[in-house]
Amino acid sequence: AIMLLGAALGALVALIGIDFRRRDQSLMARLSRALAREEVMVLYQPVVNVADGRIVGAEALVRWQSNGDFVPPDIFTAIAEQKGMAGRITRYVLDHVIDEMGGTLRQHEDFRVNINIVASDLKDPKFFAALDEGLRHAGLKPYQIGIELTERSTADSSAAIEGIAELRSRGHVVYIDDFGTGYSSLSYLGELKVDVLKMDRAFTRTVGTDAVTVSIVPQIIDMAIKHHLAIVVEGIETEAQAAYFRNLPVHVMGQGWYYGKPVPAGTLKRLLERQDGIAAPGKGRGKSRP
């Protein structure tokens, strides 16, 4: 009887497994079609200097609605990664960034748009070629396209580490994304040869609360300084959080709903124009509030 039960359980588990695989496969088939039909959108979330709220860059984020339902990007990008389809998303986003933001980037030499890539991109010569060609074609500087990678995707192999080194030698700025959520300890940061640390919003959330984890925020910041990394704080949602990071002795960049949600390229451009207007000589230097 126990064996029978075991067999039945095994069959059930196998069935659920197959079901998940089928569901993922059909999701990927739909994603593939959506990419081909240009139905996937790219939104841009402002990255600001926390000191004055000025927009200094943006992060490109994919948006996909399938049959009227919004599919969360972290879900479908993770499945795409498993199915070997993540490279197509990366390529799609890169092409759209260059297309939609190329003119703005040429106008603003110190402006930067970040893309999120996955570990497999780091081993893909086609990714490097596309990046190179895209920049050349649009007349952009390599540092204007920032590259974001999660801790997880950097830890796994020497190929990943080589890929990061290659990106940096080409002049790209490399970001370690969602820092603090990975498996590694904070001290591991010294081994990662990157330029910017993006502190995960899980830590930002603890600011102003009495959660024990609140003490991790200064630890992460100290660690970044020690390793000469710039800092982007993710998920700033409130004035209290903004004030906390504004009042740190060290300069940080920030991203979050307090400064701006992800928006279409046209909206981001209008925000930049408004900001340029404020900064223009003769018009006075109004304190640029987000």
Site string for ligand C2E, 183-222 (x = CB under 6 A): ------------------x---------------------
| Nearest by Cα to 290 from 266, 254, 264 | 254
Instruction: Write each residue from 177 to 196 as x if it is in contact with Mg ion (CB under 5 A), else as -, in one continuous string.
Output: xx------------------
Query: Quick check: 163 binds ligand C2E (CB under 6 A)?
Result: no
> Using CB distances below 5 to 8 A depending on partner kind, what does residue 20 bind out of ligand C2E, Mg ion, none?
none
- Is 140 one of the binding residues for ligand C2E (CB under 6 A)? no
Q: Is residue 73 at the binding interface for ligand C2E, with CB under 6 A as the rule?
A: yes
Which 8-state DSSP code applies to residue 249? S
DSSP for 197-212, written as a single string: EEE-HHHHTTTTS--G
- Contact present, 194 and 164 (Cβ < 8 Å): yes
Stretch that binds ligand C2E, among 48-56, 128-136, 216-224, 251-259 (CB under 6 A): 251-259
* 44 to 63: interface string for Mg ion, x by CB under 5 A: --------------------
Rounded distance between C-alpha atoms, residue 222 and residue 218, angstroms: 6
CA distance 222 to 270: 36
* Helix extents (H) in 114-246: 125-138, 151-155, 158-169, 201-204, 216-226, 239-246
Contact 181, 155 (CB under 8 A): no
Site for Mg ion in 97-136 (CB under 5 A): 116
What is the enclosing helix (H) or strand (E) of 41? strand 41-49
- Is 151 a binder of ligand C2E (CB under 6 A)? no
CB of 114 to ligand C2E, least distance (A): 8
Q: Report how many residues bind ligand C2E under the rule CB under 6 A.
A: 23
Pairing of strands 69-71, 112-116: unpaired
Binding site for ligand C2E (CB under 6 A): 45, 61-62, 72-74, 77, 86, 89, 93, 116, 118, 148, 177-178, 201, 235-237, 255-257, 262
